[in-house]
Amino acid sequence: MSLNKTFQNLKEKNEMALMPYVCVGDPDGETSAEIINAIIDAGADVMELGLPFSDPIADGPTIQAASERSLKSGMNTDRYFKVCKKVSGRIPFISMTYYNPILQYGLERFAQSCKESGISGIIVPDLPVEESGPLHDACKKSGIDLIFLVAPTTTETRMKKILKDASGFIYLVSLLGVTGARKNLGGSLDSLVKKTNAKTKLPVCVGFGISKPEHIKNMKGIGADGAIVGSAVIDVIAKNKDNRGKMLEELSMFIGKLKSATKD
């Protein structure tokens, strides 16, 4: 199902999209495929699948450690696409990575490989919208959404440019700093969600720091269309990396609770 159709269906049911993030290859490729399937079974609507990079500047220690474990397990861009393809077809996937691996692989080749592997969109946190033209063109050619981040510090001029070029959804950064599970989210989030919603018809999804069902209920209350949960999911994987059965069980329970909160 397409990203657009997924958001449409959820809106009709008055549900928010739950978008868990995992780093493909953490702890290894085979286990990654099982993790992705378990998370989908537990209720994920869309999944962000991280392609590891050695210098993940937007990520906090949790996701940095996941990237390291993935690279250590031998994950690379070709293997990443193989894992994605193996588990694709049930829900939309979003590829999240940095510009360097995409550039090395080749922009058109990367976008085309995304399409062939069941990936609907790409998020590149270190690619400014002003420099995104070549990747934007490559994505358009392959029918892949290029998803941009809007932060509390994004200027009106830049926001206008982002909303003009974006497709898929808008990724709203809930607070300043790097990714990571937090107890509380940024205080200005309410006005940022409302401001963004007023300027675009695209779904608005919030990420960075979301780790509890209460956070998700809060997001829904202020009009967000989706919640992106990364570090809190990685924490469950890291804690149980030597016990696959327990890991999958705990992930299923955690995702199930988060998904329930999108319906309340």
| pLDDT greater than 50 at residue 167 | yes
Q: Whose structure tokens read 């997001």?
A: 219
Judge whether 48 and 73 are in contact, CB under 8 Å. no
Taking the CA of residue 228 as centre, how many other CA atoms within 13 Å lie in the half-sphere pointing to its CB? 26
Q: Which residues contact 164 (CB under 8 A, 6 or more apart)?
A: none
The reported pLDDT for the residue numbered 233 is 97
Judge whether 137 and 173 are in contact, CB under 8 Å. no
What is the CATH topology of the domain spanning 15-255? TIM Barrel (3.20.20)
| d(C-alpha 254, C-alpha 153), whole Å | 32
CA-based nearest residue to 111, from 77, 79, 150: 77
| d(C-alpha 131, C-alpha 135), whole Å | 9
Residue 137 is among the residues annotated as catalytic for this protein: no
Choice among 12, 28, 41, 59 that is catalytic:
59
pLDDT tens-digit readout, 32-72:
999 999 999 999 999 999 999 887 676 778 888 999 999 99
Residue 156 is among the residues annotated as catalytic for this protein: no
Q: Where are the domains of the chain?
A: 15-255
Choice among 26, 45, 48, 235 that is catalytic:
48
Mean pLDDT of 155-174: 93
